[in-house]
Structure 1
């Protein structure tokens, strides 16, 4: 497949990423079990009557997609593709609570209708009155990467010229309780967490939404060229190096051609070993991490792609993301490596446009 271009990028996250020049204000979050996204004033974007019926995922996605389309100067995308790990879980919990509270009788269907994973893509399309290709991917931590693969197919097959693609996940009270019980979320006594040298299991959980407009042509607003993506559901720890090097070789690159590597260190000692292995492949590259800024969640890779886009465009790496002291005079190629709890490994290769 030929490369496509990321022509705009928007993100709602734990950081104030909607504003311009947010690099200096990035702050690490390592002492709280659960991180909440900084939300905009939704009334500026969504009619009040609609806000009441929207889950947090839908609201965040609606605003992030609005910013992405506005920056790209696109009114009607040729396709809308969304990735999510948990979907609109707030409404799912509300529906199940109603089932229990009402003894399975006299149930209103609203929460059930709005709890489906494709609600996000559907609501964006309704807001835009867009009747184009509309698809949702639910592939845990590689949901966004699958969405980007589909985006490349849509553009390469000339089904669309510009695609609105993004990912979003929200937190819900009951799910967070369950995550605490099964030790997905780090215990209070193990905080604050050292993301790079953690000796305990579990993560700090976050949330957010990241949306991009991807097109077949480079524009004045282009952030990066989306060169290639690779996904593997399972990976043996000893295969990490070959997994990365084979991907680079397929794109006629060597490890020394990668200027920066963004790794998904989450503070979970069991699964972070993959990233430690990956670091050995790149002795001369700038090594970066990001989940101390965003928290871990199913589509946290959206935050890392958003950060990579800004690094490529501004040719500046925030100090707070740096693992090693390597600094490049020019950042041309960035490799992003992510997984969730050791499953669904993904590689994304971005090039300066």
Structure 2
């Protein structure tokens, strides 16, 4: 499966002109996405959109200007959460009377894929995967199953998640986030929490290599709390896609000391490989692997790794493969192997 175009909205300068060397810091324990101006969206429609929908539209429309995909596939865990809670509050406030329809329409996770379809008048396959930390990976699996049978087709796939105020407060009380943490101190202090993030990363995928930016060679997902099982699966992956001096390991380490051992264990299996980290740039959110996929493709294209990403090792002059490992709450794990096409 090949990535032909990509677009990313994040807390960093990932919209052209891309600038990853200048790190934008967190504020109050959050990394808030920088939204670009949306062109071609009616103001009345834009006014009613939640932030998750705006980010999804903002990342999707640039990729759909010259392409009519055979399907739109979006992954999310918290997309629509803010409007969902607003709508539920209205039910109480207005005693089930005159409710605002906009909050209802925008409150479902499939609002992002649906709005992209409506704006571009695309009546092809339209799906949304809501699987917490594996929502993005399931969009890729969905697209891959279609492309295995019809490699000439094109699919828009990706993920969007927002920092919902209500959901953030719940996660903060549960101990996942700490508002006192900063992105600069994320990997320099020992703490049992991380910072919250959000973003959108969408990709045009096909089964044809012509003109592709990168190739998704492998994708694996695991549900386990056993670190030994994760190590075994990683070793099996390396047996098929062995690391070379030109391989990078892109780690989803979010600074939470409760789960750092997952990343440390895998790093010992590739001692000569340069290790990169990215969640001090994005914060933690369920579909952060979508940003990692965008980043891996960008690095393969540019062959230049900003120093702010490097954890350890020496970056090779010719990067030909990036292995991504990410886990969510110690239960959901994924591996992605992305290479030069």
Do residues 226 (structure 1) and 216 (structure 2) align? yes
Q: Is 1:52 the counterpart of 2:47 in the alignment?
A: yes
Superposed CA deviations along residues 21-80 of structure 1, whole A, max 9, x for unmatched, are: 42333x0635641121111123x341111111111111111110122334xx42x10111
2:165 corresponding residue in structure 1? 173
**1:308 maps onto 2:308 in alignment:** no
- Distance of 1:67 and 1:294 partners within structure 2: 22
- Residue in 2 aligned with 1:33? 29
Q: Distance between the aligned counterparts of 1:112 and 1:147, measured in 2?
A: 24
Residues 52-201 of structure 1 mapped to structure 2, 5 A cutoff: 52-70=47-65, 73-74=66-67, 76-158=68-150, 161-188=153-180, 191=182, 194-196=185-187, 198-201=189-192
Shift of 1:259: 0.6
Partner secondary structure for residue 346 of structure 1: strand
Q: Distance in 1 between matches of 2:184 and 2:317?
A: 32
Q: 239, 248, 258: which one pairs with 2:229?
A: 239
Q: TM-score normalized by structure 1?
A: 0.91
Distance between the aligned counterparts of 2:288 and 2:192, measured in 1?
18
Kept after mapping to 2: 8 A contact 1:193/1:267: no
Q: How far 1:333 moved relative to its partner?
A: 1.1
Offset, 1:334: 0.7
Give how far 1:208 is off: 0.7
Deviations 1:108-167 (A, max 9, x none): 443223211111111101111111111110111111111001111111111861100010
Q: Deviation of residue 300 (structure 1)?
A: 1.0
Q: How many residues align?
A: 341
Query: RMSD over aligned Cα, in angstroms?
Result: 1.9
Gaps of 5+ in 1: none
Of the three residues 210, 220, 227, the one matched with 2:201 is 210
- Matched-pair contact (CA < 8 Å) for 1:170–1:208: yes
Question: Partner residue of 1:16?
Answer: 13
Q: CA deviation at 1:102?
A: 1.6
- Cα deviation, 1:153-207, whole Å, max 9, x if unaligned, reads 111111861100010011122222222222211152x556643354211110011
1:351 & 1:173 partners in 2: Cα distance? 37
Q: How far did 1:327 drift?
A: 1.9
Alignment of 1:260-339 (within 5 A): 260-339=248-327
Kept after mapping to 2: 8 A contact 1:94/1:111: yes
- Contact 2:250 2:325 (8 Å CA) reproduced: yes
8 Å CA contact retained: 1:32, 1:192: no
Taking structure 1 as reference, are residues 267 and 45 closer, same or farther at Cα in structure 2, changes over 3 Å only? farther
2:338 and 2:182 mapped to 1: Cα distance? 34
| Equivalent residues of 2:272, 2:313 under 8 A apart | no
Report if aligned partners of 1:198, 1:269 keep a CA contact under 8 Å in 2.
Answer: no
Note the C-alpha offset of 1:274: 0.5
Shift in CA distance, 31/283, structure 1 to aligned 2, threshold 3 Å: farther
Structure 2 unaligned residues grouped into runs of 5+: none
Judging changes above 3 Å, is the alpha-carbon distance between structure 1 residues 115 and 192 closer, same or farther for their aligned structure 2 residues? closer
Q: Equivalents in 2 of 1:271, 1:45: separation in Å?
A: 43
Distance in 2 (CA, whole Å) between partners of 1:191 and 1:309 is 27
SS in 2 for 1:24: coil
